[in-house]
Each structure stands twice: as structure tokens, then as C-alpha cells.
Amino acid sequence: MRPYVILNAAMTLDGKIATSSGSSNISGEDDLKRVHELRKECDAIMVGIGTVLADDPRLTVHKVDAKPKDNPIRVVVDSKCRTPIAARITNKDAKTVIAGANEYKYDFLVSDRYEVLKKRNVNFFWSGDKQVDLKSLMNYLHEEGVEKLMLEGGSTLNFSMIKSGLIDEIRICVAPMVVGGVNSKTFFDGDGFNTMDEAVGLDLVDSYELGKDLILTYKVLND
């Protein structure tokens, strides 16, 4: 068993979710409110360590009316436990789980960083050899009561998750801008598939304009 997973992101018309310098303010104000309403509906929000290091997000509900109990559990997919102790995701505004890989577990457990994070009530889940085993992580989160999980990037984790058949729905904000750049992050990066035959199919179930942006909702056609 695993949670229902909704991948949400904002991209430019050319499919970029950040520029090569890391700039990623893409959504309009209305879209940011939509994102925070969605956060409020979910039991957990998950990001990759690349996103934590680039953006230092809080991943709380703070752009719409919300009480502390509305904050979902924050999950960082972070094989080597590189999450900085200063990262905002480790503050006490919400529960946080760092998912690490077994190869790095013992060195981390004897580090000062572990002691600091433990005192902040950060929890840890270990799976996989050198990289987090995403299926095990999803099973664990479901056992912990996570029925609905919002995946908030970035490109590398998005691709691993969809390749593993772990995404059920995609909500994408398409902003009317173009940034280009071969080194700018796209919605899905990772290794990619070799042929179009391997592409993951999608079914468009909703589309509407929100301010200047376009919001598209797709169901993922997992086998």
C-alpha cells in the first residue's frame, strides 16, 4: 500500500522549472494560493535534497488561512543526509522526515548534525543501498498514516517517481514565459527514457486559466 501521490509544479512554456542560476519564481500569486490550498489537503509534502539546497523551502501552509495542524509532514529524499541544520524544513513548524540510504546511515548517526536534528524532532527513515528506495519510502509513509502525498520536485526526483510508477496525478501551472537554457532544470530530468514507447501516458482531466497562468491536471496512466 502507498499514498495517492499528486505531483505539483510550476513551469515556463518551455518546460523549465528553474533557470541555470537556480531562479524559480514562476507561479503568479493566484497559483501560489492554489498550491497552499493543495498542501493543506495533503498529509505529506515531499521534495528532493536538490530542492532543499537550491530553494531552502519551508513547505508549510502560509499563503492561505491555516492552523499549525494544517501543516503536512515534510519529507526530504536525501540519501546522504546532506540536509543542512540551518535548512528551514527542519524548523519546528511541522513534522519532518529525512529519508536516507543505508550506506550513509552509520556515519550520519554518530555525527553532531544528527544530534542537532534529533533535538528538533526530525525523524529518519532508511532504505536502499546508495540511494533512497522510493517504493519502501512510500510504503513506510502510508503505514505512518499518509494517505495523500504532494510531490513538489525537483526534476530528478520527479523522474524517478514517475519511472517507478509512484505518481497518480500531475497538476502543472504553465506560466506564459520562456527562459530557455540547456542547463535550466526541466519538469522531468533524470536519465530519461530511450524511446517514446517507454513514455508514461497521461490523461488530461482538467484545464483552466488562473490569472496569467494555465493550470492543467492529468491522471497518470500507470499499468
Ligand X SMILES: NC(=O)c1ccc[n+]([C@@H]2O[C@H](COP(=O)([O-])OP(=O)(O)OC[C@H]3O[C@@H](n4cnc5c(N)ncnc54)[C@H](OP(=O)(O)O)[C@@H]3O)[C@@H](O)[C@H]2O)c1
* Using rule CB under 6 A, residue 131 touches ligand X: yes
Chain Cα centroid distance, residue 52: 10
Q: For residue 138, what is the enclosing H or E element? A: helix 134-143
The CA distance from 4 to 219, in Å, is 11
Q: Binding residue for ligand X (CB under 6 A) from 22, 176, 180, 201?
A: 22
At residue 196, what is the residue type? M
* Using rule CB under 6 A, residue 51 touches ligand X: yes
First-to-final CA distance of the chain: 16
Any bridge partners for residue 74, and if so which?
A: 45, 96
Candidates 44-52, 115-123, 194-202, 212-220; binding stretch for ligand X (CB under 6 A): 44-52
Interaction mask 72-91, ligand X, x per CB under 6 A: -----xxxx-----------
Q: Binding residue for ligand X (CB under 6 A) from 17, 38, 46, 59?
A: 17
Rule CB under 6 A: which of 154-173 touch ligand X? 154-157, 160
The CA distance from 10 to 100, in Å, is 27
* Using rule CB under 6 A, residue 39 touches ligand X: no
* CB-based contact 85:113 (threshold 8 Å): yes
Q: Binding residue for ligand X (CB under 6 A) from 39, 45, 94, 152?
A: 152
Identity of the residue, 59 or 146, whose beta carbon is nearer to ligand X in the bound complex: 59
Q: How far is the CB of 8 from ligand X (least distance, A)?
A: 7
Q: Binding residue for ligand X (CB under 6 A) from 5, 6, 26, 75?
A: 26
What does each C-alpha distance from 181 to 14, 49, 159, 187 come to in angstroms?
10, 22, 19, 13
- Counting every residue, how long is the chain? 223
Task: Enumerate binding residues for ligand X (CB under 6 A).
Answer: 9-10, 17-18, 22, 24, 26, 47-51, 54-55, 77-80, 131-132, 134, 152-157, 160, 185, 189
